[in-house]
A and B are shown apart, each in its own frame.
Chain A
Amino acid sequence: MLATLFRLELKGIFRAPTWRQNLWMRIFIVFAILYFALIFLSLGFGAYFIIEKLELGEPFAVINRYLLYYLGFDIVFRYMLQPMPVTDVQPLLYQPLPKKLVVHFSLLKTFYSFFNWSHLLFLIPMTIVLISKGNETGATLLWALGVYVLLLANNFLNIIINQKTSVFIGVASLVVGTGVLQYFELYDFTLVTQPLFLSFYNSIWPVALVVLIAAATYYYAFTHFRGLMYLDTGLAKKTEKTIAIDQKYFERFGKLGLLLKNDVALIIRNKRARMAVFAGFFFIFYGLLFFTGAIEAYDGVYWRVFAGIFVTGGFLFSFGQYVPSWDSSYYSLLMTQNLTYVEYLKSKYSLIQVFTAVTTVLSSWYIIFGWDIFSYVLIGAIYNMSVNAAIVLWGGAYVRTKIDLTSSKKAFGDKNAFNYKSLLLTLPKIALPVGLFALVDNLAGTTAAKWSIVFISLIGLTLKPWVFKRVITIYKKEKYQTLKAYRS
């Protein structure tokens, strides 16, 4: 019975829309998995020799000492990234299956998770190396078992802390507390845990204890979920509280205001859009790499133009390039309303400009690095608001990725990265201003070079109608294809 359920699960994985959508994505996922697998494998094989080479001490002892870090990071990463298992068992509830079995299944299927099997890629080669280096075979295997069981305990602990706030607070304060004490070298917990982990090697009883702990976490998670197997409790879809938006403010802008208000609601009320804006916000700090001389290769003056564009262009790049995909779930509505493409584009264009302006204000602290540095931020902002705001919409017209607004997953399905037309359009976005700056800088000096970008921005502004016309032609040409992609 359980085997049938697992076969179902496998089908679920391989028939997932993100997986089936396109070849590029599959290749990308496979590469990503191979990449991480390779990292784990090489760490597994290499850790021993690295420790030896760096002369950190007896490798096995060192490994045991830092195992605490490994476990600590494991639980943190799990909490942040590992999806929760009990989400799609609802159809199983109507079948003649005992609820217990369904719960066992949904807990056990986490073994499929990358967060569990990837550790084996690390542990197995490490065990092989340890044995080949003269450690006792049986004892080493026992040790590896103990460690893996601890990681499994982490797996179930993570499930519990995702459900129970009280447990989350407990575990979080433990992890943070240990981390802080460790970081400020107030107390070294690794010295306590080192002999604990080492004892897996020496005796069977500590391992038995760890197995008991893992079993207890499993049992706890099990009873918790068993009690939640009802449509109105654990499986209920949560209704969100609404966040009010001031209608009046936008009304004065007419149709444009209507669309802008929707976009603001889109950003505030949808996880996916919020994340894009959040990601864009972090671009602000990107300039630190360039302006502080932190990285030698970035010290050149041309890089500063590059940095200026990125610092103020975060929203433009993270949000703008997915227009019109943000509206994919109701594109049919937009296509049948009396709304012209120009009106639609203008609203997005204004949105990007407003956000770029806000980002520029938020970046104004760069002035502490001096006026010269800050002037690059301003130049970037001017170029972004005039030229890039239009060009990014042009690039978006080629992207036909349906966006699931409610999912927070940064879908790998962002095939935008592989769209050569969008890639080509990064040239005018970044290479053109940097290139122009370099050219004028060499001919007439830095000040002239700065002004040349302001000048080309003004020219870009006059080209906006032309770019819009191009974008509209693409929208119209691709309308049926786009609708098909969005409605599938």
Chain B
Amino acid sequence: MITVSNLSKTYSGTTVLSIDQIDLQAGEIIGLVGNNGAGKTTFFSLLLDLIKPSTGYIENQGVQVNQSEAWKSDTAAFIDENFLIGYLTAEEYFTFIRGLRGVSAPDMEAFLEVFKSFFNEEILGNKKYIRDYSKGNQKKIGIAAAFIGHPKLVILDEPFANLDPRAQMQLQKLLKHFNSEEGVSLLVSSHDLLHVSEVCQRILILNKGNLVKDARTSEITLDQLRSYFSEEPTEEA
């Protein structure tokens, strides 16, 4: 589904991301972990063609993301609040995305039903602009919107952050549901090793812009992940 080749991003002499080669298969939930500044968001931004690679390229379903826009119809993302339209209500925002992705109104209702307990009655029917919602609820809106219209690939940056414990558990379920029932491939970054090891089938660890580990979740235990991040950061430099 995604092929990364010889990719790097450099800002005035400092390389913030450098990945020689990755192939990500369709149908998987792939976790991206790493400390702040590891390059997770940079990688997502490159994948969404929001920034320009210094070298190399990314292919999404066979098209190079900065050459063609064909990937936009079946890729969706929620990275940060720049993906929300603050002056719309949650319903209006969903309607907007639904319209862009060509989903009918009845289908939309069925779709939102899946998110009912995740929303916890705090999102819909509130007559409130998105900019007036709490960070956690804004995140819920953004995550739900990313799944509208049966995308083949959904990219979520730190989806678990800012959510309350109950919502975190429900999000785990939702991600698994969309992956197994609807065949959505997912690319998820997180600081939370537990969530990643429970949800993802494959885990990539980034450190200072480099891919340092790429393992199937079945092969790497949570303890191994923990011990990796417990090491003193001397050797990596």
Contacts and interface: CB of A to CB of B under 8 A. Distances in A.
Interface in A267-294: 269-270
B127 A242 contact: yes
Given A336-B77, A337-B97, A480 B89 contact: no
A337 B75 CA distance: 8
A405 B51 contact: no
Interface string B47-79: 011111000000000000000010011011101
Contacts of B52: 480
B129 A240 contact: yes
Interface in A48-74: none
Given A480-B51, A480-B52, A242 B89 contact: yes
Nearest to A251: B99
A31 B95 CA distance: 47
Interface residues of A, number: 36
A361 interface: no
Given A242-B89, A262-B88, A329-B86, A336 B132 contact: no
B100 A255 contact: yes
B101 A338 contact: yes
A262 B96 contact: yes
B87 A337 contact: no
A338 B72 contact: yes
Nearest to A335: B50
Contacts of B73: 338
A191 interface: no
A329 B131 CA distance: 11
Interface string A426-442: 00000000000000000
Contact of A258 (B69, B75, B99): B99
A330 B72 contact: no
B126 to A, nearest CB: 9
B218 interface: no
A330 B131 CA distance: 12
A340 B73 CA distance: 11
A8 B101 CA distance: 48
B173 interface: no
B84 A406 contact: no
A331 B81 CA distance: 11
A262 B131 CA distance: 15
B100 to A, nearest CB: 5
A270 B87 contact: yes
Contacts of A241: 127
Provide the main secondary structure of the chain B interface. Answer: mixed
A266 interface: yes
B113 interface: no
Contacts of B97: 337
Interface in A473-488: 480, 483-484, 486-487
A239 interface: yes
B129 A336 contact: no
Contact of B92 (A237, A254, A265): A265
Given A242-B129, A247-B92, A266-B87, A336 B48 contact: yes
Contact of A239 (B79, B83, B84, B132): B132
Interface of A is mostly: helix
A332 to B, nearest CB: 4
Interface string A221-263: 0000000000000000101111001010001001101100110
Interface string A320-344: 0000000001111101111110000
B128 interface: yes
B100 A330 contact: no
B233 to A, nearest CB: 28
Given A258-B99, A337-B72, A483 B50 contact: yes
Contact of B128 (A239, A251, A254, A486): A239
Nearest to A406: B131
Contacts of A258: 95-96, 99-100
A313 to B, nearest CB: 26
A339 B51 contact: no
A253 to B, nearest CB: 10
A265 B87 contact: yes
A340 B72 CA distance: 10
A255 B99 contact: yes
B72 A332 contact: no
With most chain A CB atoms within 10 A of its CB, the pick from B48, B50, B84 is B50
A330 B97 CA distance: 13
A345 B210 CA distance: 40
Best-surrounded residue of B49, B51, B131 (most CB of chain A within 10 A): B131
Of A258, A265, A337, A339, most B-chain CB atoms within 10 Å: A337
A264 to B, nearest CB: 11
B51 A337 contact: no
B82 A330 contact: yes
Contact of A337 (B80, B100, B132): B100
Contacts of A257: 99
Contacts of B83: 330, 332-333, 336
B78 to A, nearest CB: 9
Nearest to A333: B83
Contacts of B19: none
Contacts of B77: 336
A29 B75 CA distance: 44
A487 B92 CA distance: 23
Contacts of A242: 89, 127-129
Interface in B97-128: 97, 99-101, 127-128
B85 interface: yes
Which of A257, A262, A270 has the most CB atoms of chain B within a 10 A radius of its CB?
A: A262
A29 B199 CA distance: 53
Nearest to B80: A332
Given A330-B82, A487-B82, A335 B49 contact: yes
Given A239-B128, A330-B84, 5 more contacts: A258-B96, A258-B100, A265-B92, A332-B80, A336-B76
6 contacts: A242-B127, A258-B96, A262-B85, A335-B48, A480-B51, A487-B82
In order of increasing CB-CB distance, the 4 nearest A-B pairs are: A258-B99, A332-B82, A338-B73, A269-B87
Interface of A: 237, 239-242, 245, 247, 251, 254-255, 257-258, 261-262, 265-266, 269-270, 329-333, 335-340, 405-406, 480, 483-484, 486-487
Interface of B: 48-52, 69, 72-73, 75-77, 79-80, 82-89, 92, 95-97, 99-101, 127-129, 131-132
